[in-house]
Amino acid sequence: MTFSRFRAASAFALLCLIGSAAPARAELAHYELDPNHITVAFLVDHLGYAKVLGMFRAARGSYEFDEATGALGKLRIEVDTQSVFSNYAKRDQHLKSAEFLNTAQFPRMVFTADSARRTGERTFEIPGQLELLGRPQPLTLTATWNKSGPSPIDKVYTMGVSARGSFKRSSHGMNYGVSNGWVGDEVPLIIEFEAQRK
């Protein structure tokens, strides 16, 4: 082998080695939240006696995720604020009023995120934004990727996630009952969902 051919072969081998050592590129698959298997719930302190557990009965969303790398993109969860339910009709009407969710003017509460930081084999921190009452504020969710695979019910490839977060409602301009301590300002969020790969 001539020197020039040897040099060309060496360069080719080096390029192959570099290519094999490069990190895997994210292959993002599209997922849509199953509206029949999603829970968006919250806890709010009432007068210091106990916390009220409430939920939203209607939500939807989608995201992109790569199982090999843990890369996340285009996460969007939309919640219908009119669907709020706390197991007491009079309180639910108050929650829908301008003193709380103001559902007539702001029918959606939206969480969005474009990335996630892997903290364990199946755990993540998801920095994003929560838009409530028309005011976007930072919110970080901690999430656990519970399971992925074909559903035994319909064979559709499904991913299950548990996520938690917390925010101050006053940062969104929801101030009723904060100054006198009647209603807690800190609102823990509970999000559980199944998402189908499309």
Q: Is residue 13 one of the residues assigned to a domain?
A: no
Q: Is residue 156 one of the residues assigned to a domain?
A: yes
Helices first, then strands: H and E counts in the chain: 2, 11
Task: Please give the structure tokens belonging to residue 74.
Answer: 């285009």
Instruction: Read off the CATH number of the domain in which 143 is found.
Output: 2.40.128.110
Task: Please give the structure tokens belonging to residue 156.
Answer: 């559709």
- Number of domains the chain is built from: 1
pTM, to two decimals: 0.86
Gap between the Cα atoms of 157 and 168, Å rounded: 36
pLDDT 10s digits, 92-117: 999 999 999 999 999 999 999 999 99
In which domain, by residue range, is 144 found? 25-197
| Sole residue written with tokens 């991913």 | 159
CB burial of residue 38 (10 Å; 0-12, 13-18, 19+): buried
* Contact assessment for residue 190 and residue 52, using Cβ atoms and an 8 Å cutoff: no
* Contact assessment for residue 143 and residue 116, using Cβ atoms and an 8 Å cutoff: yes
Q: Is residue 108 one of the residues assigned to a domain?
A: yes
Q: Is residue 2 one of the residues assigned to a domain?
A: no
Q: Is residue 157 one of the residues assigned to a domain?
A: yes
Gap between the Cα atoms of 195 and 38, Å rounded: 9
pLDDT 10s digits, 172-189: 999 999 999 999 999 999
